[in-house]
Amino acid sequence: MALPDPASLKLDPQAAYLHITSNETIGGVEWPDFPETGDVPVICDMSSDFASRRLSLERFGMIYAGAQKNAGPAGVTIVILRDDLLERCPETLSAYLSYKIHAAKDSMYNTPPVFAVYMLKLVMEWLQKKGGLAAAEKMAAERSGLVYGAIEKNSAFYRCPVAENCRSRMNVVFRLPTEELEKKFVAEAAAQDMIGLKGHRSVGGCRASIYNAMPIDGARALADFMDDFAV
């Protein structure tokens, strides 16, 4: 599985926008860089890798992200929207679907999810104390590097179906020689308190989701387990 080189994309210069998802959790692919689109706004769903790396915000017209992967509990969505695009929200939209109205009401047009917003605040403060986005980027590279390293070290046993240049730092997918071994791997990992390693039901295999909250030691423990299981 691979993503195209952003420079190779043939984009319509008259397009209203280009929508892109920065990280795809099922297949374990992530855009390492984003296409240059000229005057065409880039609208990006960053739900699964939000706050995990530094970005040039001026390259985007809008970023939106559900908090539930990297920023807090489910129930709140972060939206970063360029002012000129905000002003273009059509008046024909219903109020609840209008970012312009939500912005004018300081995101309190309706009753906000207070607990989810409060938890988002705590997570952002925690991330800031860790060193901000630069630290998050470094830790994401270290976590994923440990797991991918175990895959490459035991390449006769594990296989990652994703091209190296677009492997996700958040969701590491891999296969074992047989489905029976994959089931055994998931079960034995769970017995050692490593849970959620079963791949998505649509593709099977194994998947390690290692978001911002995962400590480096957790990724290291998984990598060590993978080494032992492959013997």
Q: Tokens 């790396």 correspond to what residue?
A: 53
Q: CA–CA separation, 220 vs 145, rounded Å?
A: 10
pLDDT of residue 1: 86
Q: What is the arithmetic mean of pLDDT over 199-207? A: 96
Structure tokens at 171: 């969701």
Q: Do residue 145 and residue 163 come from a single domain?
A: yes
DSSP the chain: -----GGG----TT-S-EEEESEETTTTEE-SS----TTSPEEEE-TTTTTSS---GGG-SEEEEETTTTTSSTT-EEEEE-HHHHHT--TTS-GGG-HHHHHHTTT-SS---HHHHHHHHHHHHHHHHHTHHHHHHHHHHHHHHHHHHHHHHTTTT-B--S-GGGB-SSEEEEB-SSHHHHHHHHHHHHHTT----BPPTTT-SEEEE--TTS-HHHHHHHHHHHHHHH-
Domain count, the chain: 2
What CATH code is carried by the domain that includes residue 107? 3.40.640.10
User: Whole-angstrom distance between the N-terminal and C-terminal Cα of the chain?
Assistant: 27
Q: Do residue 122 and residue 185 come from a single domain?
A: no
pLDDT of residue 84: 96
CB 46, CB 23: distance < 8 Å:
yes
pLDDT of residue 182: 98
Q: Do residue 84 and residue 146 come from a single domain?
A: no
Q: Do residue 155 and residue 218 come from a single domain?
A: yes
Q: Mean pLDDT across the chain, nearest whole number?
A: 96
Per residue in 47-69, pLDDT (tens digit) is 999 999 999 999 999 999 999 99
Task: Mark which of 80, 113, 130 sits at the end of a domain.
Answer: 130
Q: Do residue 101 and residue 199 come from a single domain?
A: no
Is the model's pTM score more than 0.75?
A: yes
Per residue in 42-51, pLDDT (tens digit) is 999 999 999 9
pLDDT of residue 226: 99
Q: What is the arithmetic mean of pLDDT over 101-127? A: 96
Per residue in 90-109, pLDDT (tens digit) is 999 999 999 999 999 999 99
Structural domain span for residue 88: 6-130
What CATH code is carried by the domain that includes residue 152? 3.90.1150.10
> Checking DSSP bridges between strand 77-81 and strand 29-30, what pairing results, if any?
unpaired
Q: For residue 7, name the pLDDT band (cuts at 50, 70, 90).
A: confident
Q: Do residue 103 and residue 49 come from a single domain?
A: yes
Domain-located, residue 1: no
Q: Which of 2-16, 65-79, 158-172 has the lowest mean pLDDT?
A: 2-16
Task: Mark which of 130, 150, 178 sits at the end of a domain.
Answer: 130
Q: Do residue 186 and residue 104 come from a single domain?
A: no
Domain-located, residue 39: yes
Q: Do residue 116 and residue 145 come from a single domain?
A: no
Q: Do residue 22 and residue 123 come from a single domain?
A: yes
Q: Do residue 123 and residue 138 come from a single domain?
A: no
Q: What is the arithmetic mean of pLDDT over 104-133? A: 96
Q: Do residue 14 and residue 113 come from a single domain?
A: yes
